[in-house]
């Protein structure tokens, strides 16, 4: 058995991809990235999708393509994916959704100036902080558990492995 699919969520720069890759290696799983799936299938970069079709369309693509990533993978979702209740509901029904809660300054240092993240390009630091605060509540509500993302990466992966083992054993947290 390949184990439950693990969906990592949290604000841009919280470490979803880095932690996801480490976790997948340690657990002998495949790692996949929802943003990468979208850009590959659509043949466009994320800034191009936002420019041409707008953010709501991108949210629809997240809701659509997350359905292809439920085969026991470790999935790094985009920072806005699980904000959408429909996408979050899918993740909840098909695996374990984990909110990586890193503090805003840590996230911001990793994402500032990134031209490949449309929300970073179009928002000031203070606007991003407000978005972070608004979303924190939604990540909590829309995921099944939360880990501290402001500690060493090995501590984060150990914590998620424990949660996944319990979830696979008991079918709930």
Q: Does 78 bind ligand S3P (CB under 6 A)?
A: yes
Nearer residue to ligand S3P within complex by CB, 95 or 118 = 118
Distance CA 50, CA 44 (A): 10
**Residues 30-49, interacting with ligand S3P (CB under 6 A):** 35, 46
Residue 85 Rama label (left phi>0; alpha psi -120 to 50; beta):
alpha
Distance CA 6, CA 32 (A): 10
- Applying CB under 6 A, which of residues 15, 20, 79, 95 lies at the interface with ligand S3P? 79
In angstroms, give the least distance from the CB of 3 to ligand S3P: 23
In angstroms, give the least distance from the CB of 144 to ligand S3P: 19
* Residue the block writes with tokens 């604000």: 11
Interface segment toward ligand S3P; rule CB under 6 A; list 73-81, 96-104, 149-157, 165-173 = 73-81
Q: Are 114 and 13 in contact (CB under 8 A)?
A: no
Count of other CB atoms within 10 angstroms of residue 45: 15
**CA angle, 152 as apex, 151 and 153 as ends, to 5°?**
115
Q: Are 38 and 65 in contact (CB under 8 A)?
A: yes
Q: Does 136 bind ligand S3P (CB under 6 A)?
A: no
**Residues 5-24, interacting with ligand S3P (CB under 6 A):** 12, 16
- Applying CB under 6 A, which of residues 6, 66, 75, 117 lies at the interface with ligand S3P? 117
Nearer residue to ligand S3P within complex by CB, 46 or 74 = 46
Residues that bind ligand S3P in the complex, under the rule CB under 6 A: 12, 16, 35, 46, 78-80, 117-119
């Amino acid at each position: 058995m390949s184990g439950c699919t693990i969906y990592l969520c949290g604000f841009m720069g919280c470490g979803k991809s880095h932690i996801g890759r480490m976790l997948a290696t340690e657990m002998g799983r495949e790692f996949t990235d929802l943003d990468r799936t979208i850009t590959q299938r659509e043949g466009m970069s994320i800034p191009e999708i936002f420019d041409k079709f707008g953010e709501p369309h991108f949210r629809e693509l997240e809701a659509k393509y997350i359905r292809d990533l439920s085969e026991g993978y470790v999935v790094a979702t985009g920072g806005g994916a699980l904000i959408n209740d429909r996408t979050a509901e899918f993740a909840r029904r098909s695996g374990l959704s984990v909110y990586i809660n890193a503090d805003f300054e840590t996230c911001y240092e990793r994402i500032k100036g990134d031209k490949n993240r449309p929300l970073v390009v179009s928002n000031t630091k203070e606007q991003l902080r407000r978005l972070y605060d608004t979303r924190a509540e939604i990540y909590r509500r829309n995921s099944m558990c939360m880990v501290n993302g402001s500690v060493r990466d090995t501590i984060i992966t150990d914590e998620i492995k424990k949660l996944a083992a319990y979830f696979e054993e008991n079918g709930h947290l």
